[in-house]
Amino acid sequence: MSDAAQPTVAEVRAAAEAVKAALDRHLEAVEARTGEDDPAVYSAFNALAAAAEVYDERLYDRYDEVTPFEIPAADDSLPPYAGPDEPHALSVLIRRDYAVVEPQRLLTQAQRIVDLDPDADSGSGVAAVVGSSVHAALGVLFGEYEPDEVASRHKEFGLEEGDSTLWVSAVDESSEPGEWLDAPFDQADPQQIVCRFDVSAVFDDEELFDDETDETDDSDEGDDGDEADGEPADDRD
């Protein structure tokens, strides 16, 4: 993005202040709600989501930084929730996809980890080959860092983000230690999903398509207004 197109520091700060105000209004609506489906809470939620999205975009455009949260959108692909109204146990399922776009950067970073901490390979014997094996380098990388840190620093490791999803699912009761480790994702029940957060470039493509469609519609309306029949073009939002 060119410097001319970047938001100003004042615009970023104004967007941050708008998020703070929206947070206050949302909390006030929640505290004063009159029922489970209070329209004031729904409206305040949407206003908060919109303010957070603007701030996230301006923060990224100006500073190349992002916020640590995603606003969930309605997902019509999920079946109606059939879990308990007040879950006493939760299971959080996460999938993040990456492409190894800079193997040499990955190898270098993994080798640096092993050089600084010889125990980072957990005794698996990969230290001798980590600088030349992507497989070994990935094992060192994900053995050293938590998944959230890899997600926030993926560019440093030569990775490119793909789609990601996080499911928060209600479960009947907490599992015993080691109970599901042999098949950790087999028991996900779509009807128990409390909420989900999806991130994908396809959403950006859809927004771009919508913007292009709006511009095309506006252009067409202008052409209609210039036709010889003298009828004015429709005013549409």
pLDDT for 97 equals 95
- Using pLDDT thresholds of 50, 70 and 90, give the confidence band for residue 226: very low
Angle between helices 134-144 and 103-116 (to 10 degrees): 50
Average pLDDT over residues 12-32: 94
pLDDT for 12 equals 93
pLDDT for 236 equals 39
CA distance 117 to 124: 14
Its pTM stands at: 0.51
Tens digit of each residue's pLDDT (9 = 90 or more) over 161-219: 999 988 888 888 888 899 888 888 887 788 888 888 888 887 765 555 555 555 555 55
Q: What are the φ and ψ backbone dihedral angles of 178, each rounded to 5 degrees?
A: 80, 0
**Cβ(67)–Cβ(56) under 8 Å?**
yes
Task: Decide the pairing of beta strands 193-199 and 159-170.
Answer: antiparallel
Tens digit of each residue's pLDDT (9 = 90 or more) over 39-67: 888 888 888 988 998 999 899 999 999 88
Residue 168's SS3 state is: strand
Tens digit of each residue's pLDDT (9 = 90 or more) over 131-176: 788 998 999 999 999 999 999 999 999 999 999 988 888 888 888 8
If we measure between CA atoms, which residue out of 45, 160, 143, 186 comes closest to residue 151?
Answer: 160
Q: Which residues, other chains included, contact 121 with Cβ-Cβ below 8 Å and sequence gap of 6+?
A: 114, 127, 130, 136, 139, 140, 143
- Does the pLDDT value for residue 14 go beyond 60? yes
Tens digit of each residue's pLDDT (9 = 90 or more) over 69-111: 766 554 445 677 777 778 888 889 999 999 999 999 999 999 9
